[in-house]
Structure 1
Amino acid sequence: MKQRVITGVVAGAGFLGIIILGGHFFAGLIFLLATVAMKELLAMKQIRVMTARGFAGFFLMWLLLIPDSYINFEAFAYERAEFFLLLLIVLLALTVISRNKWTFDDAGFTVLASVYVGFGFHYFHYARTIEEGLMHVILILILVWSSDSGAYFAGRKFGKHKLSPSISPKKTIEGSAGGVVLALITGTTFLLFMPLFNSWLVSLLFMLTVSLVGQLGDLVESAFKRHYAVKDSGNVLPGHGGILDRFDSLIFVMPIIYLFGFL
């Protein structure tokens, strides 16, 4: 527990400091976090980094991750999405060229993992670059962390009905509700001092979306770990597991709130 607290305080302070700095510092941190997260996913599938399969995964993820301001696709013959589609066709063709040493399952995992990590961290960086981006990111972090903490303590105190026992046996419906309640309390308090939206209805929808989708993101990563029979995604953060263990909710939330028009 002591190690967990120390790691949380030191890593959290450093993380918040770089978020405040923004710019190239934040972009560099996002690149590093996404790269480590992709490595963790590949390790679950027992794909080594220094292989063609590993390189393909990283390349696809980086293609989706890199901010628009850092790469000019007008210099190429294809848009980002078109280039990604071209690479997908190449991956599928490799199943034939390699005589199924590179399987359809390998190709599917590589694509899904790159989209999950790449887009998740891409929109995390994007959120920091918009108007009042720093406050948006801080609010999202508060909501995600409050939801996680509220679910943990409410689940321990009141939890009786399992939320998804086949994926995460300890999570309960009561815990999930507690997470939403604490997220609404902390989010409302923040927005009273730093209003970011035009109406309280939009604010409420935003807070509910972040809390509920964040909890879903946590379950998605739990499903990965259960499927591949691993306890933690990695050990880069002593006492906390891997990068995916800490950012699973956040990188699931970011593309959704972008698609819903909150960013």
Structure 2
Amino acid sequence: MKQRVITGIIAGAGFITLIVLGNIPFTLLMIALATIAMWELLRMKQISAFSLSGAMGMLFMWLLLLPENYISFEWIHLERLETFLLLIVVLLALTVITKNAFTFDDAGFVILASVYVGLGFHYFMYARFLDNGLSLIIFILILVWATDSGAYFAGRRFGKRKLWPEISPKKTIEGSLGGTLLALIIGSVYTFFVPVFASWVMTVLFMLAVSLTGQLGDLVESAFKRHYAVKDSGQVLPGHGGILDRFDSLIFVMPIIYLLGFL
């Protein structure tokens, strides 16, 4: 527990500092975190990041991750999405070239993992670089952390009915409701002092979207780990596991709130 607290304080302080700084330091942090997260996913599947398929996965992820002003495709006359689709064709061709040593399942995993990680961190950067990006990112972090804390304590105190025992045996419906309630309370206090949206209705809808999809994101990573029989995604953060263990909710939330029109 002591190690967990120390790691949390140091890593949290550094993370918030770089978010506040923004610009290149923040971008480099996101690239580093996304790269480690992708490596953790590849390792779950027992694909080496230094193999051809692993390198392709990293390339896919970086292609989706990097901000528009960091990457240009004019020299090949293709858009980002077109380049991504072209690389998918190349990846599928590897199943033939390797005589199924690299299977269709492996190709599907690499593509899905790169989308999951790449777009998650991409939209985290996208949100930070909006005009109100700093207050918005802090708001999102507060909602996710409040949901996690509320779910933990409400689950321990009131938890009786299992939320999804096949995926995460310890999570309860009462914990989930408690997490969402605490997110609404703390989020409301934050927006009282730092308004993020002009409409109160929009603010409440945003808080619900972040809290609920954040919990779903946590379950998604739990499903990954259960399927591949691993306890933690990695050991980068002593006492906390890997990068995916800490950012599973956030990287699931960001693309969804973008698609819902909140960004």
TM-score by length of 1: 0.99
Q: Distance in 2 between matches of 1:13 and 1:139?
A: 16
Q: Which region of structure 1 is more displaced relative to structure 2, 89-98 or 25-34?
A: 89-98
Q: Which region of structure 1 is more displaced relative to structure 2, 244-253 or 47-56?
A: 47-56
Corresponding residue number in structure 1 for 2:221: 221
Q: Residue 171 of structure 1: SS of its match in structure 2?
A: strand
Q: Residue 170 of structure 1: SS of its match in structure 2?
A: strand
Corresponding residue number in structure 2 for 1:35: 35
Query: 1:140 aligned to 2:132?
Result: no
Q: Distance in 2 between matches of 1:40 and 1:95?
A: 23
**Displacement after TM superposition at 1:75 (Å):** 3.5
* One-letter amino acid of the structure 1 residue matched with residue 133 of structure 2: G
Identity of matched residues, %: 69
Q: Residue 142 of structure 1: SS of its match in structure 2?
A: helix
Query: 1:129 aligned to 2:132?
Result: no
* One-letter amino acid of the structure 2 residue matched with residue 45 of structure 1: K
Corresponding residue number in structure 2 for 1:254: 254
**Displacement after TM superposition at 1:196 (Å):** 1.2
Deviations, residues 76-116 of structure 1 (Å, cap 9, x unaligned): 31100000000111111221222111100000000000000
Corresponding residue number in structure 2 for 1:212: 212
How many corresponding residue pairs? 263
Q: Residue 190 of structure 2: SS of its match in structure 1?
A: helix
Corresponding residue number in structure 2 for 1:182: 182
**Displacement after TM superposition at 1:245 (Å):** 0.1
**Displacement after TM superposition at 1:73 (Å):** 2.5
Corresponding residue number in structure 1 for 2:50: 50
* One-letter amino acid of the structure 2 residue matched with residue 10 of structure 1: I
Q: Distance in 2 between matches of 1:157 and 1:234?
A: 29
Corresponding residue number in structure 2 for 1:151: 151
8 Å CA contact retained: 2:57, 2:110: yes
Q: Which runs of 5+ in 2 are unaligned?
A: none
* One-letter amino acid of the structure 1 residue matched with residue 69 of structure 2: S
Q: Distance in 2 between matches of 1:48 and 1:110?
A: 11
* Structure 1 segments of 4+ aligned residues over 6 angstroms from their partners: none
Q: Which runs of 5+ in 1 are unaligned?
A: none
Q: Distance in 1 between matches of 2:117 and 2:29?
A: 14
Q: Distance in 1 between matches of 2:58 and 2:78?
A: 20
Q: Residue 185 of structure 2: SS of its match in structure 1?
A: helix
Corresponding residue number in structure 2 for 1:239: 239
Q: Distance in 1 between matches of 2:11 and 2:56?
A: 30
* One-letter amino acid of the structure 1 residue matched with residue 235 of structure 2: N
Deviations, residues 43-82 of structure 1 (Å, cap 9, x unaligned): 1001112111110110000000000111123333110000
Q: Residue 176 of structure 2: SS of its match in structure 1?
A: helix
Residues 54-203 of structure 1 aligned to structure 2 (within 5 Å): 54-203=54-203
Q: Residue 106 of structure 1: SS of its match in structure 2?
A: helix
